C-alpha cells in the first residue's frame, strides 16, 4: 500500500514539473510526455490521466500520441535502457555480431525487459554518428565503435 | 571581440569526456596561465573532431594540427613545444589518420564548401565566432536595404531549390506563403533528418547553427512572419543543445526577438524535439507533431503555404536550404547560380557511405558525375573491387548500375534515371552485394516506419516485404515479379505522402536494372552475389584442404566431418551458413557455391 502511494506521488511530481516547465499548452504535449517518460522510465496510466486532466485533452489523444512515437513507452521499462542502432551503416560495420553478443549477455530480444527489471533492450533509428558505428546508447551514454568483446565490460558499469 | 593567435578545440563528446577530456582541458588552461600565454591562446570545447577512439583529442587552429591520446601529464610538453617554441609535437599526432576529421575530411579538388564552410572551423557555441566569419551581415543588409519582395527575387534568381529532397524552388515557396493573406504565418525548419546513414544536417546544426538561424530570420522577413520553429529529431541531443545556446545568444544580441537590429521587424524561434518517428520528416506529418499529435501526414491540398501549422499559412524548408541563404545574399545570386547545372544550382552536401574508400560528408557543386564522386572524391571502391551500384536519395531512393556512372548529379537527371536526389545519402555497393537483398533491406525499413494512416502504404509495403523475403529464402514464385510490379504502381499512385509514394523506389529501380538477379533467385534458386543464405552452399575444395581440422573444431553446429590430414566435408543439411569455417580456414579451401 505504502509503495503504491509513494509511486503515485512520484508520478504526480513528474507530471507537475513537466507541465510547469512547458506550460498548459496542448501543442507542448510531446515535450511534456518526453519529460515524464524520462523521469519515470515509461508513461503509466496514472500519468496519462493526470496530464489529460491538466491539459484538458481527451485521454484517447494522449494514448494515440504515446503509442505512436518510438521513444515513448506505455509499458514499464528496465532501470537501464539499451538502445541499439540497427541501420545499414552500423550493420555493415559489424553491428550484427555486436547485437548477438548483447543478446547472449543479457538474454533479451528486441523490445523486451528483463524479469529483474534491470535491462530493456530496444532498437533505435539512425543516430547519425555512423562514422563510429556500431553504436549503442545506454540511458544517456553513447558508445561508439562497439566490439562484441567489449560488451561485458560496458554492461558491468551499470547496476 | 578579442583576438587570439591560436585556438585550441578540445573534443568533449561523451566518449572523450570519459577518457578525461575535461582534465586535459583544465591542465591546458593552467599551463597556458603558467606560461603567460592565456591571452594569446583560446581553449574551446567542441564536438567530434575524430573518432574518439584516440581521445582525449584536440585541434589547434589556424595550423589545423590534430593531437590525440593526450593525458594531463603531456600538456606541459605540448604547450612548450607547440605554443612556446612553435614546433609541432609530433609524438601526439595520430599517425593512422589521414585527415583531421573523420566526418569531414580535407576537401578534395572537386569539392566546394558553402554549407559546410564553417563546420569544424568556428566554435558553434560562440556567436562572435560566426560574426567574425561575416555572420549576420546578410541579415543586416536585408533588413536595411531590401524589401521582402527583393529578398524573394534574390533567392529566385539564385536558383536555390529545396534541399530536403523534392527540390522545389525555395523562392517560389516563399512567394506562395507571402501571398497568403491570413495571419499569423509560421516558418519552420525541418531538422528531422532521418535517413539512415545521412548526417549532413546534424553536422551543420552542431557545427554552424547560426547560419541556419540567420537563413530562417531572412526567410521570415521575406514571407512576413514573426514566429519560427525548428523541428529537430530527438536522436540528435547535441544538435538541440547547440541550437538552444545559439538562439539564446542571438536573442541577447538583439538578432532575435522584438525590433531586430532596430528595423521594427519582430521574430523569434523555438526548438521542438521529436520523439522518434521517421515519417515526421514529411512536412505535413512534422506539422502534426509540432501541434502535439501523432505524426501522421495530411492530404494536400490544402498546401502548407495556405493551411499549414495550426491551419495557418506556413513555410517549411530544410536545414541545408536555410544555411545557404546568408551566403546567397552576401555573395549575390549570380555567384550561386554560377555553380551547378542549368536547372540545379549551387552545391549539395552528401553523406558518402558503403564500399567506398573515403566515407563521410562531402559538398560538391551539382553536375559532377557519379564517377567523379565515387572515384575522385570517394577514392574509389574499397579493396579495389568492382563497382556494382550506387543508391541515391536514402531508403526511398533508387539503385543505379555501372552504366549510369557518367550521369550528372542533378535533380532532373536523377529522376530520369529512376532515382531521386533525396536529402543526400549516397551508398556505394561493390560486386559482392545482392540487389534483391538490398531491396528487401530497404523495404523492411520503410515497412517498419510506415505510420499506418493510409492502406496502400501500410498493407502494400507489408505484402512487398513478404514477397521479397520469400524470394531471398529461395521460395520465390514465378508470378512474384509481376505481383511486385503491380504493388509498386498502386502504392506509388495511391499513398498519401512522400514516404508511401517513394516506398517502391528501391524495388522499382532494382527490378529495372538488375532483373536478372531476381530471375536467378526465383527460377534458378541461385543468388549470383552469394549473399542470400538459403541459396548458397559452403563447400570444401578437395586437394586444397589439408585436413587440419580447424574448420571442424570451430563449426558451431558440428556440420563438418573428416579425418585428420584428409579432405573434410560439410553436411549442407546441418550447415547454418554462418561462414565461420571460411574465416578460420588458413588455406582458402572453403568456397561458397
Minimum-distance CB partner of B235 among A64, A89, A127: A127
From B157's Cα to the closest Cα of chain A, the distance in A is 33
Contact residues, chain B, for A69 at CB < 8 Å: 274-277, 295
Q: Would you state the pLDDT for residue A3?
A: 54
Question: What range defines the domain where residue A107 resides?
Answer: 80-155
- The pLDDT tens digits along chain A (159 residues) read 455 555 678 899 999 999 999 999 989 999 999 999 989 889 999 999 999 999 999 999 999 999 999 889 998 988 899 999 888 778 777 888 899 899 989 999 988 999 998 999 998 888 888 877 789 999 888 888 898 989 999 999 998
Contact residues, chain A, for B273 at CB < 8 Å: 30-31, 34
Minimum-distance CB partner of A70 among B277, B294, B360: B277
pLDDT digits (tens, 9 = 90+) for B5-59: 888 888 887 788 888 888 999 999 999 998 888 888 888 887 777 667 787 888 8
Examine the domain organization and report whether A97 and A151 are in the same domain: yes
Give the confidence band of B134 by pLDDT, cuts at 50, 70, 90: very high
- Give the count of beta carbons closer than 10 Å to the beta carbon of residue A83: 22
Examine the domain organization and report whether A141 and A90 are in the same domain: yes
Examine the domain organization and report whether A115 and A48 are in the same domain: no
Examine the domain organization and report whether A88 and A42 are in the same domain: no
Report the candidate in B203, B248, B521, B495 with the shortest Cα–Cα distance to residue B360. B203
Contact in structure between B439 and B445 (CB atoms under 8 Å): no
Contact residues, chain B, for A144 at CB < 8 Å: 15, 51-53
The stretch B472-484 carries a mean pLDDT of: 95
Minimum-distance CB partner of B278 among A27, A88, A125: A125
Q: Would you state the pLDDT for residue B91?
A: 80
pLDDT digits (tens, 9 = 90+) for B291-344: 999 999 999 899 999 999 999 999 999 999 999 999 999 999 999 999 999 999
CATH of domain B347-430: 3.10.20.600
B293 and A141 within 8 Å at the Cβ level: the answer is no
pLDDT above 70 for B93: yes
Q: Would you state the pLDDT for residue B395?
A: 87
CATH for A145: 3.40.30.10
Q: What was the ipTM of the complex prediction? A: 0.88
Please check whether residue A74 lies inside any domain of the structure.
no
Minimum-distance CB partner of A145 among B13, B51, B445: B51
Give the confidence band of B507 by pLDDT, cuts at 50, 70, 90: very high
Mutate to test the interface with B, among A126, A130, A136, A139 (most CBs of B within 10 A): A126
Last residue of a domain, one of A45, A68, A91: A68
Examine the domain organization and report whether A132 and A84 are in the same domain: yes
Worst-scoring range by mean pLDDT, A82-91, B198-207, B266-275, B533-542? A82-91
Examine the domain organization and report whether A92 and A138 are in the same domain: yes
Examine the domain organization and report whether A52 and A90 are in the same domain: no
B272 and A29 within 8 Å at the Cβ level: the answer is no
Q: Would you state the pLDDT for residue B64?
A: 75
A71 and B276 within 8 Å at the Cβ level: the answer is yes
Give the confidence band of B85 by pLDDT, cuts at 50, 70, 90: confident
- Give the count of beta carbons closer than 10 Å to the beta carbon of residue B270: 12
A89 and B360 within 8 Å at the Cβ level: the answer is no
Examine the domain organization and report whether A56 and A112 are in the same domain: no
Q: Would you state the pLDDT for residue A97?
A: 84
B195 and A126 within 8 Å at the Cβ level: the answer is yes
Q: Which long-range contacts (CB under 8 A, 24 or more apart) does B259-264 make?
A: B260/B139, B260/B143, B260/B217, B261/B139, B261/B140, B261/B143, B261/B144, B263/B143, B263/B144
Worst-scoring range by mean pLDDT, A120-124, B100-104, B137-141, B405-409? B100-104
Please check whether residue A50 lies inside any domain of the structure.
yes
Minimum-distance CB partner of A34 among B193, B273, B354: B273
Give the confidence band of B103 by pLDDT, cuts at 50, 70, 90: low
Q: Would you state the pLDDT for residue A91?
A: 78
Cβ contacts below 8 Å, chain A against chain B, sum to: 110
In sequence order, which residues have a C-beta less than 8 Å from that of residue B584 and are 6 or more positions away? B550, B551, B554
Mutate to test the interface with A, among B242, B285, B292 (most CBs of A within 10 A): B292
Q: Would you state the pLDDT for residue B523?
A: 95
Minimum-distance CB partner of A128 among B51, B193, B441: B193
Examine the domain organization and report whether A121 and A60 are in the same domain: no
B273 and A31 within 8 Å at the Cβ level: the answer is yes
Q: Which long-range contacts (CB under 8 A, 24 or more apart) does B139-143 make?
A: B139/B214, B139/B217, B139/B218, B139/B255, B139/B260, B139/B261, B139/B326, B140/B261, B141/B329, B141/B330, B142/B218, B142/B221, B142/B329, B143/B221, B143/B260, B143/B261, B143/B263, B143/B265
From A10's Cα to the closest Cα of chain B, the distance in A is 23
Contact residues, chain B, for A71 at CB < 8 Å: 234, 275-276
The chain-wide mean pLDDT, for chain B, equals: 90
B259 vs B266: CA distance, rounded Å = 5
From A40's Cα to the closest Cα of chain B, the distance in A is 16
What is the assigned CATH class of domain B6-92? alpha beta
Examine the domain organization and report whether A54 and A95 are in the same domain: no
pLDDT above 50 for B80: yes
pLDDT above 80 for B166: yes
B103 and A131 within 8 Å at the Cβ level: the answer is yes
- Give how many domains chain A has, as a whole number: 2
From B236's Cα to the closest Cα of chain A, the distance in A is 7
The stretch B432-443 carries a mean pLDDT of: 92
CATH of domain B127-336: 3.40.50.11540
Give the confidence band of B375 by pLDDT, cuts at 50, 70, 90: very high
Minimum-distance CB partner of B102 among A72, A131, A140: A131
Q: What percent of chain B has pLDDT over 90?
A: 62
Contact residues, chain A, for B103 at CB < 8 Å: 131
Last residue of a domain, one of A35, A68, A101: A68
A71 and B234 within 8 Å at the Cβ level: the answer is yes
The stretch B169-194 carries a mean pLDDT of: 95
Please check whether residue A86 lies inside any domain of the structure.
yes
Q: Would you state the pLDDT for residue B144?
A: 95
pLDDT above 50 for B254: yes
Q: A138: which strand partners?
A: A82, A141
Minimum Cα–Cα distance from A127: chain B residue: B235
Residues B435-522, CATH architecture: Up-down Bundle (1.20)
Which ranges constitute the DSSP H helices of B253-355? 283-290, 319-331, 333-337
Mutate to test the interface with A, among B54, B203, B273, B275 (most CBs of A within 10 A): B275
Greatest Cα pair distance in chain A: 51
Contact residues, chain A, for B236 at CB < 8 Å: 127-128
What angle separates helix B480-494 from helix B505-513, to the nearest 10 degrees?
A: 140
A26 and B15 within 8 Å at the Cβ level: the answer is no
Examine the domain organization and report whether A151 and A84 are in the same domain: yes
Structural domain spans, chain B: 6-92, 127-336, 347-430, 435-522, 537-592
Chain A residues with a Cβ under 8 Å from any Cβ in chain B: 26-31, 33-34, 61, 64-65, 68-72, 87-89, 92, 124-132, 140-145
Examine the domain organization and report whether A62 and A94 are in the same domain: no
B514 vs B434: CA distance, rounded Å = 10
CA quadruple B17, B22, B23, B29: dihedral sign: positive
Minimum-distance CB partner of A124 among B198, B235, B441: B235
What is the assigned CATH class of domain B537-592? alpha beta
pLDDT above 90 for B276: no
Give the confidence band of B527 by pLDDT, cuts at 50, 70, 90: very high
pLDDT digits (tens, 9 = 90+) for B208-228: 999 999 999 999 999 999 999
Last residue of a domain, one of A44, A68, A92: A68
The stretch B238-256 carries a mean pLDDT of: 95
B359 vs B417: CA distance, rounded Å = 24
- The grid coordinates of residue B388 equal 556494382
For residue B290, give Cα distances in angstroms to A125, A130, B150, B178: 20, 27, 31, 22
Amino acid at each position: 500500500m505504502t509503495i503504491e502511494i509513494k509511486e503515485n506521488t512520484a508520478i504526480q511530481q513528474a507530471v507537475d514539473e513537466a507541465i510547469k516547465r512547458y506550460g498548459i499548452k496542448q501543442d507542448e504535449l510531446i515535450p511534456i510526455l518526453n519529460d515524464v517518460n524520462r523521469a519515470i522510465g515509461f508513461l503509466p496510466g496514472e500519468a496519462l490521466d493526470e496530464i489529460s486532466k491538466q491539459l484538458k485533452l481527451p485521454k484517447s489523444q494522449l494514448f494515440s500520441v504515446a503509442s505512436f512515437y518510438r521513444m515513448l513507452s506505455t509499458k514499464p521499462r528496465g532501470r537501464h535502457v539499451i538502445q541499439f542502432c540497427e541501420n545499414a551503416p552500423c550493420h555493415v560495420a559489424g553491428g550484427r555480431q555486436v547485437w548477438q553478443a548483447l543478446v547472449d549477455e543479457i538474454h533479451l530480444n528486441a523490445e523486451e525487459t528483463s524479469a529483474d527489471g534491470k535491462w530493456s533492450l530496444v532498437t533505435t533509428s539512425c543516430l547519425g554518428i555512423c562514422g563510429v558505428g556500431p553504436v549503442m546508447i545506454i540511458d544517456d551514454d553513447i558508445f561508439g565503435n562497439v566490439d562484441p568483446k567489449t560488451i561485458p565490460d560496458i554492461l558491468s558499469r551499470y547496476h | 571581440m578579442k583576438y587570439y593567435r591560436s585556438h585550441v578545440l578540445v573534443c568533449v563528446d561523451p566518449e572523450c569526456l570519459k577518457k578525461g577530456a575535461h582534465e586535459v582541458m583544465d591542465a591546458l588552461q593552467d599551463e597556458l596561465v603558467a606560461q603567460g600565454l592565456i591571452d594569446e591562446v583560446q581553449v574551446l570545447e567542441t564536438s567530434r573532431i575524430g573518432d574518439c577512439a584516440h581521445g582525449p583529442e584536440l585541434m589547434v587552429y589556424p595550423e589545423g594540427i590534430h593531437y590525440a591520446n593526450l593525458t594531463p601529464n603531456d600538456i606541459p610538453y605540448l604547450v612548450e613545444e607547440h605554443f612556446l617554441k612553435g614546433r609541432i609535437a609530433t609524438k601526439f599526432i595520430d599517425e593512422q589518420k589521414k585527415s583531421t576529421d573523420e566526418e569531414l575530411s580535407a576537401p578534395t579538388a572537386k569539392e566546394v564548401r558553402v554549407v559546410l564552410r564553417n563546420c569544424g572551423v568556428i566554435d558553434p557555441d560562440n556567436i562572435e565566432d560566426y560574426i567574425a566569419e561575416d555572420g549576420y551581415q546578410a541579415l543586416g543588409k536585408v533588413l536595411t536595404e531590401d524589401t521582402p519582395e527583393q529578398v524573394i527575387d534574390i533567392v529566385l534568381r539564385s536558383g536555390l531549390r529545396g534541399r530536403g529532397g523534392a527540390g522545389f524552388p525555395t523562392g517560389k515557396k516563399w512567394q506562395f506563403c507571402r501571398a497568403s493573406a491570413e495571419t499569423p504565418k509560421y516558418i519552420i525548419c525541418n531538422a528531422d533528418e532521418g535517413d539512415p546513414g545521412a548526417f549532413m544536417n546534424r553536422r551543420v546544426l552542431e557545427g554552424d547553427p547560426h547560419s541556419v538561424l540567420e537563413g530562417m530570420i531572412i526567410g521570415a522577413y521575406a514571407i512576413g512572419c514573426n514566429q519560427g520553429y525548428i523541428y529537430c529529431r530527438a536522436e540528435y541531443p547535441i544538435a538541440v543543445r547547440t541550437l538552444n545556446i545559439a538562439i539564446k545568444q542571438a536573442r541577447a544580441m538583439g538578432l532575435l526577438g522584438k525590433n531586430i537590429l532596430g528595423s521594427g521587424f519582430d521574430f523569434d524561434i523555438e526548438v521542438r524535439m521529436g520523439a522518434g518517428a521517421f515519417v515526421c520528416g514529411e512536412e505535413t506529418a512534422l506539422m502534426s507533431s509540432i501541434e502535439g499529435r501523432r505524426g501522421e501526414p495530411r492530404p494536400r491540398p490544402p498546401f502548407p503555404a495556405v493551411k499549414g501549422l495550426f491551419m495557418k499559412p506556413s513555410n517549411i524548408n530544410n536545414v541545408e536550404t536555410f544555411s545557404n541563404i546568408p551566403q546567397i545574399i552576401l555573395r549575390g545570386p549570380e555567384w550561386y547560380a554560377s555553380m551547378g547545372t542549368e536547372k540545379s544550382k549551387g552545391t549539395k552536401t552528401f553523406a558518402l557511405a558503403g564500399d567506398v574508400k573515403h566515407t563521410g560528408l562531402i559538398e560538391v557543386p551539382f553536375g559532377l558525375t557519379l564517377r567523379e564522386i565515387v572515384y575522385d572524391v570517394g577514392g574509389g571502391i574499397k579493396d579495389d573491387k568492382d563497382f556494382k551500384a550506387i543508391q541515391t536519395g536514402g531508403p526511398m531512393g533508387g539503385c543505379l548500375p555501372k552504366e549510369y556512372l557518367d550521369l550528372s548529379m542533378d535533380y532532373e537527371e536523377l529522376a530520369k534515371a529512376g532515382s531521386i536526389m533525396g536529402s543526400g545519402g549516397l551508398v556505394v555497393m561493390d560486386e559482392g552485394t545482392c540487389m534483391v537483398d538490398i531491396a528487401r533491406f530497404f523495404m523492411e525499413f520503410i515497412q517498419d516506419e510506415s505510420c499506418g494512416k493510409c492502406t496502400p502504404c501500410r498493407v502494400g509495403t507489408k505484402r512487398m516485404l513478404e514477397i521479397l523475403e520469400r524470394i531471398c529464402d529461395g521460395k520465390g514464385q514465378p508470378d512474384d515479379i509481376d505481383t511486385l510490379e503491380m504493388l509498386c504502381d498502386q502504392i506509388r499512385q495511391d499513398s498519401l505522402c512522400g514516404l508511401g509514394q517513394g516506398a517502391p523506389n528501391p524495388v522499382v529501380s532494382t527490378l529495372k536494372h538488375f532483373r536478372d538477379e531476381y530471375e536467378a533467385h526465383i527460377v534458378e534458386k541461385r543468388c549470383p552475389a552469394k549473399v542470400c543464405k538459403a541459396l548458397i552452399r559452403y563447400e570444401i575444395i578437395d586437394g586444397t584442404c589439408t585436413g587440419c581440422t580447424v574448420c571442424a573444431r570451430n563449426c558451431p553446429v558440428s556440420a563438418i566431418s573428416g579425418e585428420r590430414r584428409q579432405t573434410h566435408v560439410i553436411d549442407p543439411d546441418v550447415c547454418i551458413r554462418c561462414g565461420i569455417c571460411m574465416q578460420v580456414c588458413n588455406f582458402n579451401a572453403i568456397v561458397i557455391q
